Chains A and B, each alone.
Chain A
């Protein structure tokens, strides 16, 4: 065996080991999806200089306050959430209310992989290979009949399963809620993820289905969706209700508009380290301006942050 072969085998061996570890840490009932369009074919592959954030970081560093305030709490406690069966209550102003089973919805959708940057308002970011379908496809399938102006989402709220919601010192008015303008929701970027890294979503990442709107701060990408409501009135969103001067309805990634707590000019691309914090400049609309800038051409983004 020459040196090159040796190196090849060593690399292959450690890759196999890593893969084995990944499977082991995922043994808690995550499902494989038989067929989906890969990110290369869907047109949403990783863009240099981005590098995928390792699975371990994506699944162990989460904001999901229903399960606690620490970044490690969701990975530890979200497994308490009952995922099966999962139904989504779909309603509209003046329309009727139906409960849609997640499994039925999943069967109706064509899955594709998309690699998106995720920029948290706390000034850290990741690059994640999601698996799911365009939100526009879901909305067309749900068929809201009229042309509503907004779509309003709520996260599942089960006190007995979500220890964070039982905290007496939390000021969040559960359930967590988020909303998009209908033209934002129908934008090609808006995505419903049901998986990441080729498998179904771990509970802490918002299983079984979550929103992903990569040009907005992460808190807009609501997790574990339990209800969808179509409406003509702009809905109140959770963070906006807590601190309206800090969090707006739009929450578009914008390095020019600082959040009172965090400068938004830079972000720490995770994983970072103390000696190499991996600070990179934040891009307008998180780098997705070509797809979404038109949505806001008549909007003062400093006022409507």
Chain B
């Protein structure tokens, strides 16, 4: 929450430099992906440390990820394409990094909507299966970064490595339906 207030203040006071659109897109995208990875890290960490109380942080982490990635989308719509459908469609067709990013956000929507306790109880066993979509989102997120590498791969490389490590640690779990 604090980081959001900080961002909002910085935006209003024009402290993000001459190109705040780009800064905001970077900041919200990075923060969103970091929360997404954090939400994925919590289960293996809880298991590893035998600390089941950590699980309570999983849902807020996921929701913060959704929140920042939604902001990311809003910044894109406002700053990059000026809310133009024509340009949006063109970008989705021509630039795969944008289409995989958009798809990742779309897949997060049902996860955010079914994040309530009531939804979880109602969906029962299928809730867990549905929420494995988050791994697909993580893979799409990595693709979104890898496709944007220009002359330096460190950022995309580190995120992808973390994803691979998490996926590796959850591999056996994923097979259990």
Name A's B-contacting residues (CB within 8 A).
53, 57, 60-61, 65, 69, 71-72, 122, 124, 167, 169-172, 242-243, 258, 260-261, 263, 265-266, 268, 270-275, 277, 279
Contacts and interface: CB of A to CB of B under 8 A. Distances in A.
Closest 5 CB pairs of A and B: A169-B154, A271-B18, A57-B18, A270-B18, A277-B79
Interface string B9-36: 0010010011111101000000000000
B151 A272 contact: no
Nearest to A168: B154
A200 B21 CA distance: 30
Given A61-B19, A170-B151, A261-B95, A274 B90 contact: no
B157 interface: yes
Contact of A170 (B11, B14, B152): B152
Contacts of A169: 152-154, 157
Contacts of B153: 169, 171
A271 B19 CA distance: 6
B117 interface: no
Interface residues of B, number: 26
A258 B94 contact: yes
B21 A274 contact: yes
B157 A263 contact: no
B18 A272 contact: yes
A275 B11 CA distance: 9
Nearest to B22: A124
A268 B22 CA distance: 10
Contacts of B95: 260-261
Contact of B152 (A61, A69, A263, A275): A69
